[in-house]
Amino acid sequence: MATTATVGTLSNADEAAEHIARQAFADAHVGAVGLELESHTVELTAPYRRVTWNRLHEVAESVPDLPGSSAITFEPGGAVELSGPPHADVWSAISWMRADHEILTSTYRDAGIALASLGTDPLRTPERVNPGARYAAMAGHFGAAGYGETALQMMTCTASLQVNVQSGTPRQWRDRLVLAQRIGPTMAALSASSPMLAGRRTGRQNTRQWIWDNLDPLRCAPVEIGADPAESWAKYALRAPVMLVRNKDGADAVVTHVPFQSWVDGTVPLGGRAPTTEDLDYHLTTLFPPVRPRRWLELRYLDAAPDWWWPALAFTAVAALDHPRVSDIAAEAVEPVAEAWDAAIRIGVEDPDLLAAGHRLVSAACAVAPPELAADMEFLLERVEQGRCPADDFMDNVVEYGVERAFSGASQ
């Protein structure tokens, strides 16, 4: 799910808006799915200590060829991410991601490092180990804007399961974007696996989403969708502040509030030059709404979850958008909770309305799941019927084994 664009200098906001709109959606029939799964890396002999940057890469170099062709990258706090290419259908995407993740987990465990797929790091304080210029500039920008501590938590203590689905045909673009956003609180509640941060209970089931909600709303809030979704995304992107300006040595943080529109129309000069389409494309990668259009739709609101949870969660999210019968049920089921982000963050499926929506959604997905996913879907449905999410299972392990053992064994 990649695209290329012609690089050129932008002369005004209208040109920028047209460029954004062209990059927002693709005329593509639904079906293809891509998955991205992040996992915290935990040194088995010293769980409180973050794995060093060099050690992360040394182990990565020893990973055998991955059959699903997932790319291996690292987040600022040392979490490892598998980014799978688009596969023809959701079952293929899940099965190949599962195969790649098993190999990655085995390789790192042999090196004494566990992979923990949880929404937040429950043990360690925020610390950046990735020396990349992008993340240094990101820290500088957020710090100047008053979000420094939350941004450090976001960069170094969070992990997600990202589901990428096709935009659909042009007549489907708006409805699919709307539904993708409206199922967000329900899916955030179902996937919640982040009840702890830096060694303490937070009083929330989905602390990861709480962190994102407390960052700059101009780049992290849901998109307000009007009649034309491409135009809505362009307005959102042009209002969002510029985070960094790239240069030959890396990037410079922008430490004042400069909407991209102000740069492109010449009101506020940055870097001594006008922005290019390449600058604009990069700016779009610094925007983090719960659903982000990138010619396909990125669903960014699911917590990373252990192996016995994430395949069914991924299938449920995809079925809600791509399967006509499930989509109809999903639209009706989530109607009362389409904006219930606060409840999803705080108590998740303990909220009766979110639990009811989640039960209907998972039940509908179970009815269309392939046989290969039957056991995963039955497990998820059983847990939902019990009013449980991954955070509950994790806290049971914390009570029984302590946070260190629960964290380092979260992938088992």
- Angle value at C-alpha 115, between 408 and 412, nearest 5 degrees: 65
pLDDT value for 5: 39
In a domain, 409, yes or no: no
Question: At 35, which CATH number?
Answer: 3.30.590.20
What tens-digit pLDDT sequence spans the chain (412 residues)?
544 334 588 989 999 999 999 999 999 999 999 999 999 999 999 999 999 999 999 999 999 999 999 999 999 999 999 999 999 999 999 999 999 999 999 999 999 999 999 999 999 999 999 988 889 999 999 999 999 999 999 999 999 999 999 999 999 999 999 999 999 999 999 999 999 999 999 999 999 999 999 999 999 999 999 999 999 999 999 999 999 998 877 789 999 999 999 999 999 989 888 999 999 999 999 999 999 999 999 999 999 999 999 999 999 999 999 999 999 999 999 999 999 999 999 999 999 999 999 999 999 999 999 999 999 999 999 999 999 999 999 999 999 999 999 999 865 5
Domain that holds residue 242: 13-388
In a domain, 346, yes or no: yes
Please list the alpha-helical segments (H only) found in 75-172: 90-110, 133-144, 148-157
In a domain, 411, yes or no: no
In a domain, 410, yes or no: no
In whole angstroms, what is the distance from residue 98 CA to residue 68 CA?
9
pLDDT value for 6: 47
In a domain, 101, yes or no: yes
In a domain, 396, yes or no: no
Identify the CA nearest to 283 among candidates 233, 249, 212: 233
Q: State the burial class of residue 328 (Cβ atoms within 10 Å of its Cβ: 0-12, 13-18, 19+).
A: exposed
- Enumerate long-range contacts of 365-369, CB under 8 Å, 24 or more apart: 365/312, 365/315, 365/316, 365/319, 365/320, 365/323, 365/326, 367/325, 367/326, 368/319, 368/323, 368/325, 368/326, 369/315, 369/319
1: DSSP letter: -
**Count of structural domains within the chain:** 1
pTM of the model: 0.95
pLDDT value for 248: 77
Q: Which residues pair with 273 in a beta bridge?
A: 270
221: DSSP letter: S
pLDDT value for 412: 52
Q: Do residues 214 and 147 touch, judged by C-beta distance below 8 A?
A: yes
378: DSSP letter: H
In whole angstroms, what is the distance from residue 16 CA to residue 408 CA?
46
In this structure, are strands 291-293 and 296-303 parallel, antiparallel, or unpaired? Answer: antiparallel
In a domain, 268, yes or no: yes
pLDDT value for 1: 53
In a domain, 367, yes or no: yes
